[in-house]
Amino acid sequence: MEKSRDSQETTASVPHRLQGTGVCPGVIMGTAFVIKHDEPQIVERDIGSDEIDHQISMFEEALIETRRQIRDVQANLGKQVGVRDARLLDAHLMVLDDRAFVEEVITRVRTEKRNIEWVVSEVSEQYVKALSAVQDDYLRERVADIKDVARRIIRNLTGEKSVSLDEMTGKRIVIAHDLAPSETASAPKGMVLGFATELGSPTSHTALMARALEIPAIVGLHNVTGVVMTGDEVLIDGNRGILVLKPTEQELEEYGRVAATRRHIVEGFSNLKDQPAETTDGKRIVLSANAENIDEIDSIISYGANGIGLFRTEYLCMSGNCDVSEAAQTRIYSEVARRLAPAPVIIRTMDIGGDKYLENDGAEREPNPFLGCRSIRLSLRYPDIFKEQLRAILRASAEGNVRLMYPMISSEAELDQANALLEECKNELRQQQVKFDADIQTGIMIEIPGAALIAGRLAKKVSFFSIGTNDLIQYTLAVDRVNDSVAYLYDPTHPGVLELIRLTIKAAHDNKIWCGVCGEMGANPLMVPILIGMGIDELSVAPSVVPLIKDVVRKLSLKDAEALAHAVACAESSAEAGKLCRKLLKRIAPEVLELI
């Protein structure tokens, strides 16, 4: 049942506005429905030897019931947002099917002789702590999957009822500490107006579900569940990441105008689909899309992107198929290439943290996985698995539009080793008389400062560069951009960052290869003129951002871009650089400022 704020409560000390991170655009006003999870009450107790089999039997029955519940939720979710997005719950089913998890629970019940619900809680908490320590946004977000599944199992063991959004009595804006996809799917279709959570990131389930449902969403709203009560009227601005509690008439009028303006601007972008991303004085930019699965191809085509500039193959592993076969990978890569032909498709080899593989091998956890055995380092450590992926990409290259890219290259030695394995794969396919592109373009991501500084050497061994600005900025400035305490230091206009980008572009052009950007800097309308002014050849962004960036490019002159790049490089502060960027954008594309 919904509970309202006590009528006697004074709100003088309650913040009127909260700032978070917008992860799905749009403005919506509505009544709040606040979810505060009460964890299942678990009492630890000893059990006798004669109870062990019964406890294990209870566990197995709870697994079956939990799997049924998740399947039901998945079916409901599929009806609401489609099969692709219903797959978000595959991670939940993975936990239930994880034999390591199940066997550990059973073993501890037998050896420790403790009640089953307590053991499930303890084992799941181990998993949560392990993933929480990983320096990888996506893997950290999987903590929510484990918590949600463990909560369901324990409730099925104890008979406690779980909280569900189906208790909502009308259309509501959902406020929560965090949300699992199974929770969002339990709401009747069309009842959720928007999401606002305390936790989350652009890769969280809340963000993914909001985009699937096409509703505004904000994450990172600290203590929002302590400020907003069920029944409160709230307004959320998914563009700017602002939640307004009990908005005034003036604020409602203001946001009404803003929302109408944004809709009009976005609708105006639709006529750019078949237009080239070309500056007013003829500089053509290749505008590609970042993607992570085959279901995004329709969006890539509809938004007018020129192929895929970054296909993140780690999604194949993260979605639950860590042992995906060479044949399965070949089918996926080939279908992507066929559907987008003749536009290019750049397939990046897996870029994941080292913990997932190392834990399975019994290796000791690294103290700092973000600087440890991840990405290309992990691939080179496991050459047999790496070669399976390389062969799959080569097989797909028979379509004629596939390119290959290695992530996180830091030295010539790494690049040489990767290329040597690629040549081995080519020879193996030749012996099997398998058709492939023998001259497949091979490139690398420049995301480590050391790589940028030796870009001239690396350029002699590849066909292209793609700058991963997210990691390049973090590694250059020693700033974790998801850490609130240092996020203010994350600065794409820092002179050191800009100099590394300039050096990379120059090294590419000096060696007659092209250079692109596939990080968030390329999706920022304020930063795009700087990149173009420094000579960037390609930008790869999220499919939905393509029209926005294309609009900026088509209203920009190369002369103005070059002048801005020079001025920003000479700016005395980030604030001054920001003003210069806004000044140019206001002059050439003032409508874009309304969206950012």
**pLDDT category of residue 142 using cuts at 50, 70 and 90:** low
Checking if the pLDDT of 93 tops 70, the result is: no
As a CATH number, domain 49-158 is 1.10.274.10
Q: What is the pLDDT of residue 356?
A: 34
Query: What is this structure's pTM?
Result: 0.69
CA 200 to CA 178: how far, in whole Å?
7
Write the DSSP symbol of residue 114: B
CA 5 to CA 8: how far, in whole Å?
8
Say how many C-beta atoms besides its own lie within 10 A of residue 117's C-beta.
26
Q: What is the pLDDT of residue 5?
A: 46
Q: Which CATH architecture has domain 17-37+164-267?
A: 3-Layer(bba) Sandwich (3.50)
The CATH fold of domain 313-440: TIM Barrel (3.20.20)
Q: Does the domain formed by 450-596 have CATH 3.20.20.60?
A: yes
CA 365 to CA 356: how far, in whole Å?
10
- From the list 366, 462, 370, the residue with the least C-alpha distance to 414 is 462
**pLDDT category of residue 162 using cuts at 50, 70 and 90:** low
Identity of the residue numbered 496: G
Q: Which residue has the higher pLDDT, 540 or 202?
A: 540
- pLDDT tens per residue, range 2-23: 444 443 344 445 578 899 888 8
Domain with CATH 3.50.30.10 in the chain: 17-37+164-267
CA distance to 68, 283, 456, 494, 593, per residue, from 507 (Å): 56, 20, 5, 20, 33
CA 204 to CA 191: how far, in whole Å?
21
Is beta strand 402-406 parallel, antiparallel or unpaired with respect to 345-348? parallel
CA 309 to CA 313: how far, in whole Å?
13
**Which secondary-structure segment (H or E) carries 109?**
helix 99-112
Contact between 304 and 578 (Cβ < 8 Å):
no
Q: What is the pLDDT of residue 470?
A: 86
Query: Quick one: average pLDDT of 408-414?
Result: 95
Contacts of 563 (CB under 8 A, 6+ apart): 533
Contacts of 402 (CB under 8 A, 6+ apart): 333, 337, 344, 345, 347, 393, 396, 437, 440
CA 374 to CA 132: how far, in whole Å?
17
Q: What percent of the chain has pLDDT over 90?
A: 45
Which positions are annotated as active-site residues?
205, 518
CA 558 to CA 556: how far, in whole Å?
7
Sheet holding 172-176, edge to edge: 17-19, 242-245, 233-237, 27-35, 172-176, 192-197, 217-219, 21-24
Helix or strand or coil: residue 404? strand
* Helices (H), ranges, 478-533: 495-510, 528-533
Rounded-to-10 torsion of CA 459, 463, 469, 475: -40
CA 162 to CA 156: how far, in whole Å?
9
Domain with CATH 1.10.274.10 in the chain: 49-158
CA 346 to CA 312: how far, in whole Å?
9
Cis status of the peptide bond prior to 342, with omega within 30 of 0: yes
CA 171 to CA 178: how far, in whole Å?
19
- pLDDT tens per residue, range 493-533: 999 999 999 999 999 999 999 999 998 899 889 999 999 99
Checking if the pLDDT of 332 tops 90, the result is: yes
CA 196 to CA 174: how far, in whole Å?
6
Say how many C-beta atoms besides its own lie within 10 A of residue 500's C-beta.
25
Length of the chain: 596
Checking if the pLDDT of 355 tops 50, the result is: no
* Token pair of 354 as six digits: 């080292």
Q: What is the pLDDT of residue 206?
A: 75
- pLDDT tens per residue, range 200-226: 766 566 776 776 677 899 988 888 988
Domain with CATH 3.20.20.60 in the chain: 313-440, 450-596
